[in-house]
Amino acid sequence: NAGVTQTPKFQVLKTGQSMTLQCAQDMNHEYMSWYRQDPGMGLRLIHYSVGAGITDQGEVPNGYNVSRSTTEDFPLRLLSAAPSQTSVYFCASSERGPTDTQYFGPGTRLTVL
Amino acid sequence: AQTVTQSQPEMSVQEAETVTLSCTYDTSESDYYLFWYKQPPSRQMILVIRQEAYKQQNATENRFSVNFQKAAKSFSLKISDSQLGDAAMYFCAYRTYTGTASKLTFGTGTRLQVTL
């Protein structure tokens, strides 16, 4: 039981490049979400999913895309990276919703030059 | 919109002593959840404690307890018998009660140092 895994742990991109941050959980959780963490800003929700095939926007969705084709996986796509997307990204999952105990992945530190 | 405020960017406590971290929030709702998360240097976010707004009794988890003042919209975390492993960033978070189409709103965090 690995919990929530994220890859890669570190990534450097050039402005305009695209990439996908991977997130997987092996706990059969329905609810998954992506946050970004910036200094002095706390964690802000990017996108979330309440189950396979269902996604919705959080508070800072612009520039990001998600899909949920399986219960286990919830990838986050950066369509055209910008320096403003330099951040630490966390994926989280919980059994049904955000009031359940949320399990966070170890994070991905992304730098956009 | 809900907001969560942590007014103490940094706190320090001696080992074995007690420390209280402050959190206030703003909401017009009557039913909601409040959480404290710990983020050690490993960056992994760990749930410390949760409180349902409809419960008057303050939540406790071993050395961690909260002082929930609903009317004042205050949700402080008390750590008793502090240990070196308690050193971390602590985040207060708020979540609305009903439905799945909602989210956690986080405060900006308090960095706790534990000294010998």
Residues of A in contact with B91 (CB under 8 A): 42-43
CA distance A31 to A50: 4
Residues of B in contact with A92 (CB under 8 A): 45
Nearest-by-CA chain A residue for B31: A99
Nearest-by-CA chain A residue for B35: A99
- 């105990």: which residue's tokens? A101
Beta bridge partners of B47: B37
Average pLDDT over residues A55-67: 93
Q: Does the pLDDT of residue B99 top 60, yes or no?
A: no
Pairing of strands B88-96, B104-106: antiparallel
pLDDT at A1: 65
**Tens digits of per-residue pLDDT, A34-56?**
999 998 778 899 999 999 999 99
pLDDT at A97: 79
pLDDT at A33: 94
Q: How many Cβ atoms are within 10 Å of A87's Cβ, its own excluded?
A: 21
Q: How many residues does chain A have?
A: 113
Q: Does the pLDDT of residue B97 top 80, yes or no?
A: no
**Tens digits of per-residue pLDDT, A76-109?**
999 999 999 999 999 999 988 777 778 899 999 9
Cα atoms found within 13 Å of the Cα of residue A38, Cβ hemisphere only: 12
pLDDT at A100: 79
Residue B110 Cα, gap to closest chain A Cα (Å)? 10
In chain B, % of residues over pLDDT 90: 70
Please judge whether B104 and A98 are an interchain contact, meaning their C-beta atoms are less than 8 angstroms apart: yes
Tokens representing A85 are: 């997307």
Please judge whether A31 and B100 are an interchain contact, meaning their C-beta atoms are less than 8 angstroms apart: yes
**Amino acid found at B108:** T
Which candidate from A41, A58, A90 shows the least CB-CB separation from B108? A41
CA distance A104 to B108: 17
Please judge whether B102 and A98 are an interchain contact, meaning their C-beta atoms are less than 8 angstroms apart: yes
**Tens digits of per-residue pLDDT, B1-47?**
678 999 999 999 999 999 999 999 998 888 889 999 999 887 778 89
What does the DSSP assignment read for A54-87?
Answer: EEEE-SS-TTEEE--SSSSB--EEESS--GGG-E
B74: phi then psi, degrees, rounded to nearest 5:
-125, 145
Pairing of strands B10-14, A10-13: unpaired
A-B contacts at Cβ under 8 angstroms: 55
**Tens digits of per-residue pLDDT, B51-66?**
999 888 999 999 999 9
Tokens representing A36 are: 């970004």
Q: Does the pLDDT of residue B98 top 60, yes or no?
A: no
Residue B33 Cα, gap to closest chain A Cα (Å)? 7
Q: Does the pLDDT of residue A65 top 80, yes or no?
A: yes
Pairing of strands A64-66, A76-78: antiparallel
CA distance B102 to A83: 28
Q: Which residues of B73-108 are buried (b: 16+ CB within 10 A; e: fewer)?
A: bebbbebeebeeebbbbbbbbbbbeeebebbbbbbb
